A and B are shown apart, each in its own frame.
Chain A
């Protein structure tokens, strides 16, 4: 599961680096690897084994996309080998089949020059002031990590819940966070500051008090709305397109607040009988 986690992130990062039709293929493959991750997690839970979302740092700083693709293929080959000793043979066969196809596609993918680590901090087609550039830089680092953190938390909660109503909410929140993560990762790559989100600490996703987590989550979403508003104002003078994007993200947080408010009400009802 750790190796699948790493392969998922490495493939997602490769998607951010790509500027061609490879991008969508890499995003699709990273989505498949994330689903493998959840399948393997469910298997571990059903076996009553302990696990965590710990992983190694993932080196992604490459000059050519093919360098990272070779690394991903190596990771996938290692996962394929590990699957041999895993108990659910049907699941292993399904994952293995995906891996073989993905490796084949990755081997023949056209190479690209990577500019995602140039540190130029210039958004294509937009001239931002130094202040707006710094604000955008900080926002992208903070929020790329935050979205990854949220995906891991919602995923953990979902994996450990049998409540269909709550799981529907967690899944929507995971999908929403994926959209934001992809948007911000893409922007980071365009600005030459792409980075793998740091490892999430256990106590964040191994939530002990779901009610408090949801209440804090609503407060964080309200703070994120303010952050988007501030950033929209900071870039509006130089780019109405970027400003509108951050207004859009700001308004999307309303969905998350509504979902978490729903979850809170449902959870209170379920626990109070």
Chain B
């Protein structure tokens, strides 16, 4: 375990709700009820929307919180295309991991995507509800999953 990782465990960055958020998104693991909520305050600079501030909350394990801390730090200040690129790059990295290791970070990445998608929908319909995406990976190792059935 490296120092940077422990630092994220001790002081997760951007944890909590965000007053004045204008979009929210949820990443969910339907297998175990874990979820991540992302709150965005999208601002506009020269007509280009960008993530002015971002927060997250999680029902999940320490790995999820560390992933939330790292990815929200990366997402802060990005324009919307940059945020989508961050999500895509994260998902590509996760392809190399076993599903139980990938599920936590996938949940955060999908929550960011859901929040950006919600923001775009709200440009047309301000009452559009927060979007939710489900993870494809599962946090429960296969043999444990089978035993549980």
Given known A-B contacts A56-B16, A134-B1, A193-B6, A201 and B11 have beta carbons under 8 A apart: no
Interface presence of A141 (CB below 8 A): yes
The docked-state distance in angstroms from the alpha carbon of A138 to that of B16 is 21
Contact B61 A199 (CB under 8 A): no
CB distance from B65 to the nearest CB of A (A): 7
Residue B3, interface by CB 8 Å: yes
Q: Does A148 contact B (CB under 8 A)?
A: no
Docked complex Cα distance between A237 and B57 (Å): 38
Q: Give the number of residues in B that approach A within 8 Å (Cβ atoms).
A: 18
Complex-state Cα separation, A199 to B120, whole angstroms: 28
B-contacting residues, A57-74, CB 8 Å:
57, 61
Contact, CB under 8 Å: A117 / B10: yes
Partner of A61, one of B9, B11, B12, B65: B11
**8 Å CB interface, A67-104 against B:** none
- Chain A nearest CB from B17 CB (Å) reads 6
Taking a contact as CB atoms under 8 Å apart, the answer to whether B62 and A138 are in contact is yes
* Chain A CB within 8 A of B37 CB: yes
Q: For the complex, is A127 an interface residue (Cβ under 8 Å from B)? A: no
Q: A204 interface residue, CB < 8 Å from B?
A: yes
A198: CB under 8 A from chain B? Answer: yes
Residue A22 at the chain B interface, CB threshold 8 Å: no
How far does the alpha carbon of A134 sit from the alpha carbon of B10 in the complex, in Å? 14
Q: Judge whether A193 and B10 touch: CB under 8 Å.
A: yes
**Residue in contact with B1 in the complex, picked from A54, A137, A194, CB distance below 8 Å:** A137
* Residues in B neighbouring A204, C-beta threshold 8 A: 59
Question: How many positions in chain A have a CB within 8 Å of any CB in the partner chain?
Answer: 21
Q: At the interface, yes or no: B84 with Cβ under 8 Å from chain A?
A: no
On whether the beta carbons of A198 and B9 are closer than 8 Å, the reply is no
- CB pair B62 A57 closer than 8 Å: no
The distance in angstroms between the C-alpha atoms of A121 and B10, with both chains bound, is 12
B1 engages A195 (CB within 8 Å): no
Residues of B within 8 A of A141 (CB): 9, 62
Interface status of A142 (Cβ within 8 A of chain B): yes
Q: Which residues of B contact A172 (CB under 8 A)?
A: none
- The distance from the CB of B101 to the nearest CB of chain A, in whole angstroms, is 13
A265: Cβ under 8 A from any B Cβ: no
What chain B residues lie within 8 Å of A119 (beta carbons)? 3, 6-7, 10
- Contacts A119-B3, A204-B59 given; indicate if A193 touches B9 (C-beta within 8 A): yes
Smallest CB separation, A97 vs chain B (Å)? 32
Determine the chain A residues whose CB is within 8 A of the CB of B62 once the complex forms.
138, 141-142, 145
Tell me whether A195 and B57 are in contact in the complex, defined as CB-CB below 8 angstroms, given that A56-B16, A57-B15 are known contacts.
no
Within 8 A of B (CB), among A172-231: 193-195, 198-199, 201, 203-204
Pick the residue among B3, B11, B58 that contacts A195 (CB under 8 A). Answer: B11
Kindly list chain A residues whose C-beta atoms are within 8 Å of the C-beta of B58. Answer: 198, 201
Contact with B along A108-146 (1 / 0, CB 8 A): 000000000101010000000000001001100110010
Cross-chain contact of B57 among A121, A138, A194, A199 (Cβ < 8 A): A199
Which residues from 133 to 169 on chain A have a C-beta closer than 8 Å to any C-beta of chain B? 134, 137-138, 141-142, 145
A141–B66 alpha-carbon span in the complex (Å): 11
Nearest A residue to B59 via CB reads A201
Name B61-82 residues within 8 Å CB distance of A: 61-62, 65
Instruction: Pick the 7 closest A-B CB pairs, nearest first.
Output: A195-B10, A141-B62, A141-B9, A134-B1, A201-B57, A198-B15, A142-B62
Question: Measuring CB to CB, which residues of chain A are less than 8 angstroms from any residue of chain B?
Answer: 54, 56-57, 61, 117, 119, 121, 134, 137-138, 141-142, 145, 193-195, 198-199, 201, 203-204
Known: A54-B16, A198-B15, A198-B58. 10 other contacts (CB 8 A): A119-B6, A119-B7, A141-B62, A193-B10, A195-B9, A195-B11, A198-B57, A199-B17, A203-B59, A204-B59
